[in-house]
Structure 1
Amino acid sequence: MPHRPLTLRAPRGSVAAEEIRAGIDALLADAADDLPIAFPPEVLAAAEAAAARTGRGDRADRTDVPFVTLDPASSTDLDQAMHLSRDGEGFRVLYAIADVPWFVDLDGPIDHEARRRGATVYLPDRRIPLHPEVLSEGAASLLPGQTTPAFVWTLDLDASGAVTGVDLERALVRSTEKLDYAGVQEQLDAGTGHPQMLLLQEIGALRARQELERGGASLNVPEQEIVEDGDQVRLVWRRPAPIEDANAQISLMTGMAAADLMLRGGSGILRTMPPAEPAAVERFRRQAEALGVPWEEGVSYGAFLRTLDWQEGRHLALLNQATALFRGASYAAFTSAAEVPEDPAQAAIAAPYAHTTAPLRRLVDRFVLLVCHAHARGEAPAPELLAALGEIPEAMRSAGGRAGDLERRGIALVESAALRAWTGEELDATVIDSREASPAKDGNEGTPARVEVQLLDPPVTAWVPARAEVGSALRVRIVSADAADSLVLEAVQG
């Protein structure tokens, strides 16, 4: 039986949005002690005062540059704006990043609250912002038609897409258009498009080739998306549009330039990831061989991953296993050359890298921008800035753990609610992982052998008591799907 897609017009496959909201409200109430939601009055007052500031400091005037932003259509917290142009046989990228430090005084009330939060938290039906909305969706956001303070990166590229020159200045910018991924991709697919997006497509392809040449790797997998329409929601696959990949390459390039500035300057915060353990790499090679998708000698890890198609069961299983090689990401702060990490590279990117392009939504980027600006000017970062660097990695780690747990629970709630209408029915799934049985020990019950399966429609993963080969097809039955408890599936024999 072909499994039926979840659509808004199929009552059995839809979920009341109010039920989702009530469930998320309960999750947030449970997490209230660890995850702040409302901003304290003094933070809101400081944000209102910062938004009303009239001076802009000593900065260049770049308001004559027709910057554009590219984000999801609904976004209003716009961190980045770009202007791309040809420069001889190469290119020039002007990349404006919201100057959040202009509005957030170091060691002030907004800074203290941001360190407590760490990052914006995204849940199925809402987000909990890092900064008050008067800043993140107002005065500090690179909204079209608004003159806004920004850090502007100038990145010169040669004809191959390699960076040949970097500069960073504080400036005033004025975005002229707010473009969205879906609209831009539709135009490009039709053979038309905004001139900036045509250049972005070209530069993104060159940067992706640079990534492959240096040994970087990207996981080419779709995203699970919750689509709301009035009272109802549905779970669907969302495959990022090619222009999103191109846009991500500009951000990656800027993060690599920031890391290089900080390493040469002797202070900053890097985003690090250790290389995969040789045993993990060899295990992945064996898995690929066993699944009949061999990773040939001489082919880089990144190049191999780009050959995998998530819609093919064996490939989907391999892409899931590949995440084991992308572990251990953290932040490393250093205030002198002697403190630079022994291996400063981010292994998946295959180069030193820093988070610097999302200061409205991530704490660490604000500090990286300030340090990079000082180094670009040939100056030592302010002592109070250097003194704060050591606190940021722990703030990010702590915030990431809290947010990750809450986001996982939120998604699980939606998945269970979405599948409740399918209770008792059988669906096709692909086995993406397996675990052997564990015996009872020290008073704890053992666990049976189980496999993790991926349902393709709706896009849900779950563990099922069963034995099956990774990459194989498995028929499963929805036993129960209680949003307040958990999703329970069983394998169907025969």
Structure 2
Amino acid sequence: MDSSANATGGDFARVRADFDLPDQFPPAALTEAEQAVSDGPRGSRVDATDIPFVTIDPPGAKDLDQALCLSRLEGGYRLHYAIADLGAFLVPDGALDTVARERGQTMYLPDGNVPLHPTVLSEGAASLLPDERRAAALWTIDLDTEGQPVSADVKRAWIRSVAQFDYATVQADIDAGREHPSVTLLPEVGSLRRSLAIKRGAVELQLPEQDVDKDGDTWGLVLRTRTAVDAWNAELSLLTGMCAAQIMLRAKVGVLRTLPPADDNAVEWLHRSAAALGIEWPPSTSTAELLAGLDPADPAALALFMDATRLLRGAGYTVFDGDLPELVTHAGIAAAYAHVTAPLRRLVDRFGTEICLAVCAGEPVADWVRAALPALPGLMESSDTLAAKVDRASLDQVEAWVLEGKVGAEFDAVVLRAEATVAEIFIPTPPVLAKAAGEGLREGESVRVRLTAVDPVRRRVAFERA
């Protein structure tokens, strides 16, 4: 699915003000960042500039955290995965470290980001931009012929990316058989890893992904179709995070992204929902297998994906230093997992990377890293909550701009979740997620709805069953 609608609107200053987002860095943090760029990254590192790394990111991205190169081994595959070595630039407990802990992560708004770190680092000296010699935490992960990891190591290195790609370009090149050699094996390895994820019981929800686009002075809503390259690339990041988690668990120190297993009530609810939606669920089919086999274009499948979000509630961060915690796995991934692949954009990744670098080098984990661990769950959970609210508010704002002046118009919609007199709906054209009033709305039902109100100031729209 891919549809769009446009409307002339303003900027997102109100969203920034409503959530008290900072518009600049403290002078001390900027000075420290500029000094870090001048001094260059700290620490000795191996030279891996002969590996032809490439990056795959959204179009126009400058904060490039990851670069990859896949090659074939006699008994499987090798993934070289380079991660921006932000820890080599920051002074522990310095001004820049302090403000990064306050921010937690980069906030993405349609008219510009609120970065975790000053752009001289995140979009400059620390970013894995093409044709530049860059400091990286270089992961080397060897896989067997089935895609299972047999060894994983990370060390500080110099790397050089030879090309910057976006997802659509890589997908088109692979489809046409003209892909860069470094990603030739991406479909093969990515598919193996995806199959293993389904066997593990990993849950993937193929819900519509709204996004904001701009053409001149006009804001628009688009529905981003997830390409196979998106999924394959995500599997490499997940693989790295799973290897990082195992390194931490063996060393008995680390920070994991965790999610408790869904309770029986949530699973039973999903079975009842599938039956009500007319989706056949064979007894031998797991939840992961069922969801992976559904067509996201099917209204009933969209409704079931929405119901399946119940299985993924309660995610958090678990730190440990000594005894292992009771919960070490992420139920949605169906494995132990740690964030280590996006340090330019997410605070916790820097600390996870430092732990893995120390363990793999046979060195003690730095005292400043260990001292920071207890505070990380609270910092990340707060910033995750804020990021979700900012993202939703930005989308709500554009929805209101796009629909302004169209009160009384009718639209085709799919009911995603229904209660007594109100339902969550998805409108494909323009791509809008909203609520609609009406009696007897059923999940998975295709309905006609009427726009009853638009308030661009409060970022609200309202529908009713036509």
**Aligned partner of 1:15 among 7, 32, 57:** 7
**1:469 maps onto 2:455 in alignment:** no
- Give distance in 1, aligned partners of 2:308 and 2:161: 39
Matches within 5 A, 1:300-379: 300-336=286-322, 338=323, 340-379=324-363
Paired position in structure 2 for 1:119: 105
* Corresponding residue for residue 481 of structure 1: 454
- 2:96 aligned to which of 73, 90, 110: 110
Match status 1:411 vs 2:395: yes
> What does the per-residue CA deviation read over 1:286-329, in whole Å, with 9 as the maximum and x for residues that have no partner?
11011110222121211111122222111111111111111111
Task: Tell me whether 1:77 sits opposite 2:63 in the alignment.
Answer: yes
> d(CA) in 2 for partners of 1:251 and 1:55?
24
Contact kept? 2:453, 2:463, Cα under 8 Å: yes
How much does 1:433 deviate? 0.9
User: How many angstroms apart in 1 are the aligned matches of 2:388 and 2:204?
Assistant: 21
2:429 maps to which of 457, 460, 463:
457
Q: What is residue 66 of structure 1 aligned with on the other side? A: 52
Unaligned ranges ≥5, structure 2: none
Per-residue CA distance 1:61-99 (angstroms, 9 max, x = gap): 111211111111211100011111111030111111000
The question of whether the paired residues in 1 share the 8 Å contact of 2:52 and 2:182 is answered with no
Counterpart of 1:174 (choices 127, 144, 160) is: 160
Give the Cα separation in 2 of the matches to 1:177 and 1:450.
49
**C-alpha separation in 2, matches of 1:64 and 1:313:** 49
Q: Which among 362, 365, 368 is matched to residue 384 of structure 1?
A: 368
For residue 6 of structure 1, report the CA deviation from its aligned partner.
6.5
Runs of 5+ unmatched residues, structure 1: 8-12, 437-448
* Residue 435 in structure 1 maps to residue 419 in structure 2: yes
Contact persistence 1:308–1:319 (CA under 8 A): no
Q: Deviations over 1:90-127 (max 9, x none)?
A: 01111110000011111011110000000001122221
In the alignment, is residue 423 of structure 1 matched against residue 407 of structure 2?
A: yes
2:14 to 19, 23, 26: 26
Q: In the aligned structure 1, how far is the partner of 2:286 from the partner of 2:414?
A: 26
1:138 is aligned to 2:111:
no
The 3 A distance-change label for structure 1 pair 310 and 20 is farther
User: Whole-Å Cα distance in 2 between the matches of residues 111 and 54 of structure 1?
Assistant: 17
- Partners of 2:245 and 2:10 in 1: how far apart? 41
CA apart distance, 1:333: 0.9
The code of the aligned residue for 1:369 comes to: T
Aligned residue type for 2:73: D
Shift of 1:472: 1.1
* Aligned length in residues: 463
Q: Which residue of 2 aligns with 1:229?
A: 215
Partner in structure 1 of residue 465 of structure 2: 491
What do residues 127-186 of structure 1 show as CA deviations (whole Å, max 9, x unaligned)? Answer: 111000000000000011111111001100011100001111111111111121111111
Q: Alpha carbons of 1:261 and 1:6: their partners in 2 closer, same or farther (altered >3 Å)? A: closer
Partner of 1:445: none
Counterparts of 1:55 and 1:235, CA distance in 2: 40
Distance in 1 of aligned mates of 2:17 and 2:211: 24
Q: Is it true that 1:219 corresponds to 2:219 in the alignment?
A: no
Q: Which amino acid aligns with 1:47?
A: A
For residues 342-401 of structure 1, give each alpha carbon's deviation from its aligned partner in whole angstroms, at most 9, with x where no partner exists.
121100110000000000000000000001111112222122210111111111111122
Q: Is the 8 A contact 1:6 1:234 kept in 2?
A: no
Cα distance in 2 for partners of 1:54, 1:39 equals 20
Does residue 400 of structure 1 match 2:384? yes
Task: Select which of 281, 292, 297 maps to 2:267.
Answer: 281
Instruction: Determine the C-alpha separation between the residues in 2 that align with 1:222 and 1:144.
Output: 32
> Secondary structure of 2:348's partner?
helix
RMSD value, Cα: 1.4
- Structure 1 equivalent of residue 139 of structure 2: 153
Match of 1:219, SS?
A: coil
Higher Rg of the two aligned structures: 1
- Whether the 8 Å CA contact 1:465–1:491 is kept in 2: the answer is yes
Q: Confirm or deny: 8 A CA contact 1:227 1:234 kept in the other structure.
A: yes
In 2, Cα distance between the equivalents of 1:193 and 1:123?
32
Among 254, 258, 271, which residue is 2:257 paired with? Answer: 271
- AA partner of residue 406 (structure 1): V
- SS of aligned partner of 1:275: coil
Looking at structure 2, the residues matched to 275 and 267 of structure 1 have their Cα atoms a distance apart, in angstroms, of 23
* Corresponding residue SS for 1:352: coil
Q: Deviations over 1:194-217 (max 9, x none)?
A: 122221111101111111121112
- Write the distance in 1 (CA, Å) between the matches of 2:366 and 2:46: 21
Indicate if the aligned counterparts of 1:20 and 1:413 stay in contact, CA closer than 8 A: no
Q: Secondary structure at the match of 1:104?
A: coil
Tell me the secondary structure at the aligned position of residue 52 of structure 1: helix
Q: Within 2, Cα distance between the matches of 1:401 and 1:313?
A: 29
Aligned partners of 1:140, 1:352: CA distance in 2, in Å? 28
Q: Is residue 20–residue 125 contact of structure 1 (8 Å, CA) maintained in 2?
A: no
Distance 1:157 1:310 in 2: 31
1:296 aligns with 2:282: yes
Identity of aligned residues (%): 43
The alpha carbon displacement at 1:56 in A equals 4.2
Tell me if structure 1 keeps the 8 A contact 2:258–2:337. yes
TM-score, normalising length: structure 2: 0.97
* Aligned partners of 1:56 and 1:149 also within 8 Å: no
Structure 1 runs, 4 residues or longer, greater than 3 Å off: none
Amino acid at match of 1:198: T
